[in-house]
Homo-oligomer: A and B are copies of this chain.
């Protein structure tokens, strides 16, 4: 008699037929005696349709109003799913983010969850009601509607699972788990039965689209057992079989078996690189450059500062490609003259490719094999960044697929560990 959170992506609720299938799947879990909370996304295409209307009216629409508009996508789905559940004879009740009191900060279009009031949901669960909560949205302390950014429904589901101390959070999606890399690029890519939380965090942050990074952070912070699995299987598949499918995100490295050195290769094309050249190499300079960028709500990813030559250094960082123009403008108007930089260069035709694996901690030579592989394909590395369990490189956009395929082969990822 566990408390289970299900999350369904936009494709999984993309039509009333599919919503009916989700209802059957939830009913199967409910019939097994579990207390069920379900978090659906908007129907596929709906968020884009809504934001498209806004963009017809303004090239720079007010983010507060974008959230008012975009949050309706999930609001429609919770109503429809509740109706489908009731049609199967279950008790069901929908909640918007504001109705739950999913309190967030006020960073419209990319808000962060601060607190979740679980009282109303618990009361409903105690009555045997299936609780359907709109993903992707919350409300700030002033009562404004906020959204959590793309993929935010994953975060909503995991945050709810954490607040409710759920036994497991199942993320149903249109892929059947986490792969060594994207099978559309490398057909030999292999599904992982388990992946550690740390690896998943790196992969999510590095562009693997399976889970939104903040959902993984939440899962790690609150130790929410998380499973990624397919919503495209028969909804009446035996529950025991379904409960073991997909990829489980684990919290401890599996010591009972030989750990693979590398778990996967993540990549993202959505990158842009900016270099501030000829910067005086003095304390506080990084803050003077990145402070205004942060104030403009632009997320910075990789940051690299080269060794100083003659008291001047080059300072590089990457941002999401969609924020490249805005970042350039902030630097031109608020930074360049203030710090007496010589020049600002940029390139929005770059991508990032990363090798991820907790096995790196105990195996040497990963970086050199990676660099040699890229070199043999004639791919120039523009930036390098490493952590304990990953190595990322920024390369020319056009080499992305080639790099991923070559690395997947060089590290033998098509074979099970």
Which of chain B's residues has its CB closest to A87's CB?
Answer: B58
Give the segment of A1-9, A72-80, A276-284, A392-400 that binds chain B. A72-80
Contact of A83 among B57, B71, B76, B96 (CB under 8 A): B57
The minimal Cβ–Cβ distance linking A355 to chain B, given in whole angstroms, is 42
In chain A between 52 and 68, which residues have their CB closer than 8 angstroms to a CB of chain B? 53-54, 56-58, 61-62, 64-66, 68
A66 contact set on B, CB distance < 8 A: 79, 83
Give the distance in Å from the alpha carbon of A69 to the alpha carbon of B42 in the complex. 12
Copy tally for this chain in the complex stands at: 2
Contact of A62 among B16, B64, B83 (CB under 8 A): B83
A94 contact set on B, CB distance < 8 A: 64-65, 68
Knowing A65-B82, A72-B72, A82-B65, the reply to whether A57 touches B99 (Cβ < 8 A) is no
Interface of A, helix, strand, loop or mixed by DSSP: helix
Which of chain B's residues has its CB closest to A74's CB?
Answer: B72
A64 contact set on B, CB distance < 8 A: 93-94
A144 contact set on B, CB distance < 8 A: 99
Q: Are B50 and A76 within 8 A (Cβ)?
A: yes
Give the distance in Å from the alpha carbon of A86 to the alpha carbon of B66 in the complex. 13
The minimal Cβ–Cβ distance linking A200 to chain B, given in whole angstroms, is 33
* A20 interface residue (CB < 8 Å to B): yes
A69 contact set on B, CB distance < 8 A: 75-76, 79-80
List residues of chain A with CB under 8 Å of any chain B CB: 16, 19-20, 50, 53-54, 56-58, 61-62, 64-66, 68-69, 71-72, 75-76, 78-80, 82-84, 86-87, 93-94, 96, 98-99, 143-145
